[in-house]
Chain A
């Protein structure tokens, strides 16, 4: 899919959702573009002449290397792709003597680089190549982190418009009709490189296994590695001895991250609901606490008042009683006095 299709597809999403025709849902197995092309590299045929490197350099107008391509002493050190070299051949000492292997982008069926790029600068073309678009690249270099084969390189010395540099399987030249096979393949003198439909190449490799017993290990590197690649290798020595990692597994790179990405919408949907719930609870608790406090206060007040009133009433009653008693006492006293006076008077008569 081309980068720019994405936004257009979003429109289609709505339509699909409405029609209920969930496109390709479920445990679908993707097998890649059916008629894509690739290259088969035969390590038993490679002689380490570096002509492929020269061919690549020529067709892509890359800068001339510090040492010319016919200087084979560069094979003494192990090299990797860099910003001026899309492909390198390395020599590996093995039990079967020196074995040479060409390295370049494997053009994965499920490219890690494309999956990791946050501006979708990469595209897997139906023809098989994994190509990169300069017009949108930000230069974050996450694709270099992601590529399990350490292929993409970066123009670190370019201050303003550094590019990601990597093999594009001559896609622009082939589609423009300038070349019929990739530059490296055309330059190879021993047919260690064969360009063709990936399905045909796999058949061809098996045929060689069959025709030359004992010459090859029964394994096509790239048939399943990292979900499969358009570049395929066959060899007489274990692939780990010629610099190809055998511990990569067969899981396509996008699957490593799709689970984590799938969890993201869960957060978007569940978190706000959860947090609002927690907020509501804490709010209600606060309110309840305040309410309780207020109620307790009024109750206490009422109780205090009641107590106060009772006290007052008691005091009042007592005062009343006292007063009454005092009056009675006074009356009694007065009466007694009066009686006494009466008696005294009577005695005096």
Chain B
């Protein structure tokens, strides 16, 4: 995350001066990103990346794809909690989470355009020449469908902003179906991202290779999603405070407590399943090697520790501890994805043939995250994300959900 030093009132900044530190930094990043884009599409992948025939996937896959998708899991976890499990008090967290997820997935697809050799063929697997034996086919299909679902889930915010009441109500009625479809698709592709590596048991270190890989990826994505909601909520709370309404602010702490409790449970389950993974493959002895140290760090420092912190934070109702646990969990997910796809992948190769990203690869990843941040800020400062639109209050889980639709509306609309 590169641009955390945002001024507190972005709208005011627009009016005052464009030369705020935030604008300078992001402007610079975007400028470098555009130059590298040009380089990528004139000199090829060799011009900007350190990829090689032995290391065909670099951080554009490890970070942009694997971490991007895992950290955008807040969308399906939050909407499932609210609309399926009926935890209505989390309602205020749904919109920011959906927006983040939508932007997250859109950026994942955007980033893939840099990584694959012929980006304009990205629709091929779905529309032209499907390869159903491939796990990547499954990932591609689900990511494509889920991106559409997220878009539809997000449209009510945009339609409220535009004042298109009729369409907005049509979309709202589809909420449950979209949510369930979203959970199905997320389960599939979150797990399939782990399953991608099942085909290469000879290249992935035995500590990380497990037939449980899809399960690990799915379960850890839930923890990642819940933690990201807490993490982002904390950041947004700081920088977009003036965009939040009473309803959001009063529910804020409750949401974080509830999600902290959920994340604690999920992390504990994940921890024990990871141990079962070791037991099933009998790979305990690797724990005493260098890779074992890395594995223990990941499992103890970034799974067990945050689980404990979450539990303590929830017991003591201490939001500070919960937020630290969220940060640790998010870092742990990143570490895990890096381990599977990078640090422990191709471990059989001599050190000289291993992959290390070029600064340009890192810069492109930062550029893409920055673009996401700017889009998020643009949307969240304009559309009803952190507050409810005055005309579309959902104040109570009312008995007559459509009562407000028939209410005469003071404004007149174009339709």
| Direct A/B contact, Cβ within 8 angstroms | yes
Residue numbers of A with Cβ under 8 A of B are 3-4, 6-7, 80-83, 112, 114-121, 136-142, 144-146, 148, 150, 152-162, 245, 247-249, 253-254, 256-261, 263-264, 267-268, 271-272, 275-276, 278-279, 282-283, 285-286, 290
Among the listed B53, B115, B198, which residue makes an inter-chain contact with A153, where contact means beta carbons less than 8 Å apart? B53
CB of B199 within 8 A of CB of A256, answer yes
CB of B117 within 8 A of CB of A272, answer no
- Compute how far the CA of A178 lies from the CA of B257 in the bound complex, rounded to whole angstroms: 73
Known contacts A145-B203, A162-B44; A6 and B184 CB within 8 A of each other: no
Residue numbers of B with Cβ under 8 A of A are 40-47, 49, 51-54, 56-57, 80, 83-86, 115-118, 121-122, 124-125, 128-138, 140, 176, 180-181, 183-184, 187-188, 191-192, 195-203, 211, 213-214, 348, 397, 399
CB of A112 within 8 A of CB of B192, answer no
CB of B134 within 8 A of CB of A142, answer yes
Q: Which residue of B lies closest to A290 (CB)?
A: B399
Q: How far is the CB of A134 from chain B (nearest CB, A)?
A: 10
Inter-chain contacts of A114 with B (CB < 8 A): 133
CB of A138 within 8 A of CB of B187, answer no
CB of A80 within 8 A of CB of B85, answer no
CB of B397 within 8 A of CB of A154, answer no
Inter-chain contacts of A7 with B (CB < 8 A): 130
CB of A260 within 8 A of CB of B56, answer no
CB of B121 within 8 A of CB of A136, answer yes
Known contacts A115-B134, A118-B134, A119-B129; A156 and B84 CB within 8 A of each other: no
CB of A145 within 8 A of CB of B41, answer no
Known contacts A138-B117, A138-B121; A271 and B187 CB within 8 A of each other: yes
Inter-chain contacts of A150 with B (CB < 8 A): 53-54
- Compute how far the CA of A259 lies from the CA of B214 in the bound complex, rounded to whole angstroms: 11
Among the listed A81, A115, A155, A279, which residue makes an inter-chain contact with B84, where contact means beta carbons less than 8 Å apart? A279
Among the listed A116, A245, A248, A268, which residue makes an inter-chain contact with B199, where contact means beta carbons less than 8 Å apart? A116
- Compute how far the CA of A141 lies from the CA of B54 in the bound complex, rounded to whole angstroms: 11
Inter-chain contacts of A82 with B (CB < 8 A): 53
Inter-chain contacts of A268 with B (CB < 8 A): 184, 188
- Compute how far the CA of A81 lies from the CA of B203 in the bound complex, rounded to whole angstroms: 18
Q: Which residue of B lies closest to A122 (CB)?
A: B131
- Compute how far the CA of A119 lies from the CA of B117 in the bound complex, rounded to whole angstroms: 14
- Compute how far the CA of A279 lies from the CA of B191 in the bound complex, rounded to whole angstroms: 23
Known A-B contacts: A120-B134, A146-B199. Give 6 more (CB < 8 A).
A114-B133, A136-B121, A145-B197, A157-B43, A260-B192, A271-B180
CB of B397 within 8 A of CB of A272, answer no
Q: How far is the CB of B88 from chain A (nearest CB, A)?
A: 8
Inter-chain contacts of B56 with A (CB < 8 A): 141-142, 144-145, 154
Known contacts A117-B131, A118-B125, A156-B45; A285 and B118 CB within 8 A of each other: no
CB of B116 within 8 A of CB of A140, answer yes
CB of A257 within 8 A of CB of B125, answer no
Q: Which residue of B lies closest to A263 (CB)?
A: B214
Known contacts A83-B53, A144-B53, A257-B198; A157 and B184 CB within 8 A of each other: no
CB of B140 within 8 A of CB of A80, answer no
Inter-chain contacts of B57 with A (CB < 8 A): 141, 145
CB of B199 within 8 A of CB of A264, answer no
Q: Which residue of B lies closest to A159 (CB)?
A: B44
Among A81, A161, A271, A285, chain B packs the most CB atoms within 10 A around the CB of A271
Q: How far is the CB of A244 from chain B (nearest CB, A)?
A: 12
CB of A260 within 8 A of CB of B188, answer no
Known contacts A154-B56, A247-B202; A264 and B137 CB within 8 A of each other: no
Q: Which residue of B lies closest to A112 (CB)?
A: B199
| Those 9 A-B pairs whose CB atoms lie nearest each other, nearest first | A139-B117, A282-B86, A120-B131, A141-B56, A156-B46, A118-B137, A144-B56, A162-B117, A159-B44
CB of A137 within 8 A of CB of B198, answer no
- Compute how far the CA of A257 lies from the CA of B115 in the bound complex, rounded to whole angstroms: 24
Q: How far is the CB of A90 from chain B (nearest CB, A)?
A: 14
Q: How far is the CB of B275 from chain A (nearest CB, A)?
A: 21
Known contacts A119-B125, A156-B44; A161 and B180 CB within 8 A of each other: no
Among the listed B135, B200, B202, B211, which residue makes an inter-chain contact with A245, where contact means beta carbons less than 8 Å apart? B202
Inter-chain contacts of B397 with A (CB < 8 A): 286
CB of B116 within 8 A of CB of A264, answer no
Q: How far is the CB of A198 from chain B (nearest CB, A)?
A: 23
Among the listed B44, B49, B80, B199, which residue makes an inter-chain contact with A158, where contact means beta carbons less than 8 Å apart? B44
Q: List 17 A-B contacts (CB under 8 A).
A: A112-B199, A116-B135, A136-B128, A145-B196, A145-B197, A150-B53, A150-B54, A154-B117, A156-B44, A156-B51, A256-B198, A256-B201, A257-B195, A258-B133, A260-B195, A278-B84, A279-B86
CB of B196 within 8 A of CB of A159, answer no
- Compute how far the CA of A6 lies from the CA of B124 in the bound complex, rounded to whole angstroms: 14
Inter-chain contacts of B121 with A (CB < 8 A): 119, 136-139
Q: How far is the CB of A147 from chain B (nearest CB, A)?
A: 9
Inter-chain contacts of A145 with B (CB < 8 A): 56-57, 196-197, 199-200, 203
- Compute how far the CA of A196 lies from the CA of B118 in the bound complex, rounded to whole angstroms: 37
CB of B199 within 8 A of CB of A283, answer no
Inter-chain contacts of A160 with B (CB < 8 A): 41, 118
- Compute how far the CA of A145 lies from the CA of B51 in the bound complex, rounded to whole angstroms: 12
Inter-chain contacts of B118 with A (CB < 8 A): 137-139, 160-162
CB of B180 within 8 A of CB of A275, answer yes
Q: Which residue of B lies closest to A270 (CB)?
A: B184
CB of A116 within 8 A of CB of B43, answer no
- Compute how far the CA of A259 lies from the CA of B133 in the bound complex, rounded to whole angstroms: 11
Q: Which residue of B lies closest to A119 (CB)?
A: B129
- Compute how far the CA of A223 lies from the CA of B184 in the bound complex, rounded to whole angstroms: 42
Known contacts A139-B117, A256-B198, A263-B214; A154 and B40 CB within 8 A of each other: no
Inter-chain contacts of A121 with B (CB < 8 A): 129, 131
Among the listed B85, B133, B399, which residue makes an inter-chain contact with A278, where contact means beta carbons less than 8 Å apart? B85
- Compute how far the CA of A285 lies from the CA of B397 in the bound complex, rounded to whole angstroms: 13
Inter-chain contacts of A136 with B (CB < 8 A): 121, 124, 128-129
Inter-chain contacts of A115 with B (CB < 8 A): 133-134, 199
Inter-chain contacts of B115 with A (CB < 8 A): 140
Q: How far is the CB of B229 from chain A (nearest CB, A)?
A: 19
Q: How far is the CB of A140 from chain B (nearest CB, A)?
A: 5
Inter-chain contacts of A272 with B (CB < 8 A): 180-181, 184
Among the listed B140, B214, B399, which residue makes an inter-chain contact with A118, where contact means beta carbons less than 8 Å apart? B140
Q: Which residue of B lies closest to A117 (CB)?
A: B131
Among the listed A6, A249, A267, A286, which residue makes an inter-chain contact with B187, where contact means beta carbons less than 8 Å apart? A267
